[in-house]
Amino acid sequence: MSDTHLEEVSTADVDNDGQSPPDADQGPKKGIEVPLGPPTVVVQRLSVHYRVASKERESQDATRAQRAARRIGWDRTVTVKAVDDVSFVARAGEAIGVVGHNGSGKSTLLRVMAGLETPTKGRVLAHSTPSFLGVNAALMPELSGMENVRLGLLAMGMTPKEVREAIPDVVELAGIGRSVHLPMKTYSSGMGARLRFAISAAARPEILLIDEALATGDAASKERSEARMAQIREQAGTIFLVSHAAQTIEEMCTRAIWLHQGEMVLDGPAYETARAYRWWAWNIAKGETAKADVLLEAARAQLRATVVQPEDTSTDQHLSRHSSRN
């Protein structure tokens, strides 16, 4: 990315996914800096492609065979490249944000890293099993928040004694007050998300994957979540955080990866990457597609200039194959 672009980015500020106009410049921010430890996750040339039936009408140049197949009821299939040839190395002490427009592959990347999905190509090596906190984490809507906390902690392998000791901390981190005694089905999505984050963070996993849980919440709960994330990183953990809110990534992460239609277009310091993404998203929202294309290409060029292929690192002997397809 050129210097000119960086200057432009630092003077423009947009809310979340580029849906609001830029605010005034708030001056340069530094982002979070931490000493880095050894690799905890290595993602090598990872692709997840889905074959899906499409009801879309054939184009003019559909072959006769395609038209005939359609007449006898066979649907046309298309390939969706949810994640396409993505590689990176994550280290202890990093909090890595994953940004990108709807459908850019963020959740799919996390699901594969969690071992919930098998990649079409490539592999994920991890030092220990990542703990996945998704928006749809299986909590029981009929049970109260507190009952879900107990079940969730037990399900993560804690003993009943550990659960009892952890509960006050989880409840405080969730920051939902007395609502913790109400059924979860009565919670707002933000309350549910914060409870899930609190449960998952209580296990103090070495690798924590968080999907869209922290974008909501008031200033106090955001601060508590940030403090907990810092704690996990200090204990030599690695966090991945998917969020549409680029600002959340800037505030909570050390590094960010920008995915676009399954492709990794930028990987760098959280502040710069999230800013670059926000600037692109703002142009998309304004219909400035030519400008957005230039920004996307600039990001790709910067990635090409800085990328270190995971194959180049000789540091993964201590990692086990977590998810793979060669």
By beta-carbon proximity to ligand ATP, the closer residue of 92 and 258 is 258
Segment contacting ligand ATP by CB under 6 A, of 20-28, 84-92, 101-109, 195-203: 101-109
Structure tokens at 323: 């998810």
Q: Interface with ligand ATP includes 82 (CB under 6 A)?
A: yes
Segment contacting ligand ATP by CB under 6 A, of 38-46, 102-110, 182-190, 310-318: 102-110
Q: Interface with ligand ATP includes 79 (CB under 6 A)?
A: no
- The only residue of 100, 119, 130, 192 in contact with ligand ATP, by rule CB under 6 A: 100
Q: What angle do CA 143, 148, 153 make, to 5 degrees?
A: 160
Nearest to 242 by CA among 299, 308, 197, 180: 197
By beta-carbon proximity to ligand ATP, the closer residue of 108 and 179 is 108
Q: Interface with ligand ATP includes 160 (CB under 6 A)?
A: no
Q: Interface with ligand ATP includes 108 (CB under 6 A)?
A: yes
- The only residue of 44, 47, 87, 104 in contact with ligand ATP, by rule CB under 6 A: 104
Segment contacting ligand ATP by CB under 6 A, of 99-107, 136-144, 214-222, 307-315: 99-107
d(CA 286, CA 269): 26
d(CA 249, CA 271): 8
Question: Does residue 213 contact residue 265 with C-beta atoms inside 8 Å?
Answer: no
Q: Under rule CB under 6 A, how many of the chain's residues touch ligand ATP? A: 12
Segment contacting ligand ATP by CB under 6 A, of 36-44, 106-114, 292-300, 304-312: 106-114
Q: Interface with ligand ATP includes 106 (CB under 6 A)?
A: yes
What minimum distance in Å lies between the beta carbon of 173 and ligand ATP?
24
By beta-carbon proximity to ligand ATP, the closer residue of 146 and 245 is 245
Those residues with Cβ within 8 angstroms of residue 230's Cβ, 6 or more apart along the chain or in another chain: 32
Those residues with Cβ within 8 angstroms of residue 47's Cβ, 6 or more apart along the chain or in another chain: 81, 83, 84, 85, 86, 119, 120, 121, 122, 262
d(CA 301, CA 289): 18
d(CA 141, CA 192): 10
- The only residue of 39, 97, 105, 152 in contact with ligand ATP, by rule CB under 6 A: 105
What minimum distance in Å lies between the beta carbon of 48 and ligand ATP?
8
Q: Interface with ligand ATP includes 102 (CB under 6 A)?
A: yes
Structure tokens at 246: 């680029």
Q: Interface with ligand ATP includes 278 (CB under 6 A)?
A: no
Q: Interface with ligand ATP includes 26 (CB under 6 A)?
A: no
Structure tokens at 314: 């000789």
Question: Does residue 187 contact residue 195 with C-beta atoms inside 8 Å?
Answer: yes
d(CA 252, CA 317): 30
By beta-carbon proximity to ligand ATP, the closer residue of 106 and 228 is 106
Q: Interface with ligand ATP includes 80 (CB under 6 A)?
A: yes
What minimum distance in Å lies between the beta carbon of 117 and ligand ATP?
8
d(CA 185, CA 81): 34
**Sheet-wide strand order for 320-325:** 76-91, 39-54, 121-126, 320-325
Structure tokens at 114: 């969690």
Residues that bind ligand ATP (CB under 6 A): 50, 52, 80, 82, 100, 102-108
